[in-house]
Structure 1
């Protein structure tokens, strides 16, 4: 059995680490470069970096910050935000990332997934899905809708259909961001995570809502996720990554321990 991954997420705005609730009310809370280094030293399995306003502002990602983070960590590093072409992907990889995360750009131009997978391999392509719970309908039979531009624009696309479509196009991994759970610390949206994980063959990362280590255990057991993304609980010092991993280990979850 593969170890379950613990992945801190750095949301970055104007070069600063930021955090909000349900994609709103973001406040700046620190330096992403220093924070990434600390999480690497604590035993994080990967780091995810999102330039959260790049797509909405119609600009490219902040490559200088990517380079600075990459110089401080020696674990897989996934970068997203404002990536809309294979050339953007190449620039991010050359800046030090191992994986590219596409979200809004992939919804607007699904071909970017296939083009990226062809150019760099499926293992490099992560598709982020920002998902909002809605009433079930003929258009949204799962009851979960894809939203883009940092939660600003509902797309009328069913989340389960989209997950299966991006797998077909060549994505190597999915990151399921629940807008309803984001920043609430009430736990991951397990129904959504399990729905996606049980209907695709690629790894699924649960994202949004972690408030304590049990929520992470639930994400990788009840939610069938391969990894759990965390933000607030480590950014604000409520738990350290070693504490989270020890709890998960003690609950019978296989994780990479750093003793």
Structure 2
């Protein structure tokens, strides 16, 4: 898989690179580097293709990122074969310890600017660009979309276990302006997510979007056209379980074939 990294020295979980992005193709069987790339090579390879980009969350060493992306890639091959021409990964310094929430949140905000320019460029070159984020990765993506001046950046945004407050997509809230930059925005949540139900609440004194979904469900139902909420409580029993949920990938496959309903329980 091609990995685009904004980590210092490509792998550092705690420091943002001062040279923008680095690009490598990684062999997940042994985490070895197949080749180094330049940005123009990446754009050339992805031009005209249907691309899915993965964005990890908080507290991940680089090998843990690779492990998660490997699982997701296999599940996509199993359940959504043929829909994407390329699956690529993004790596950012989300920390590697459970007590770095505020520092990692600040870095998520900082990395969003360079992530914005990346997805804007890819959106123009590819046939379609979809993004799947997990946990605090939602802040990276949503803030980048908020900053973008383009009308539409992403075709589909699959936001799993989003570690942002549960009202952020509503009018006059932090990421309301991000919503219109997607053709479709999917929120996947589960009340059995112990990380969001425990640590996030303690840190933010609020409920996460990834716990019970949006705070104002009537607003989502009646005032939005492109937000779709997927309750995964029967299928996902932990913060990291989304990547292995066959039901989630089957839902995504179905949503690519026909318009989904606004609220769905898997």
TM bucket (normalised to shorter chain) is 0.3 to 0.5
Choose between structure 1 and 2 for higher RCO, CA contacts under 8 A separated by at least 6 residues.
Answer: 1
Structure 2 length normalisation: TM-score?
Answer: 0.38
Q: Which has the higher strand share?
A: 1
TM-score where L is the length of structure 1: 0.39
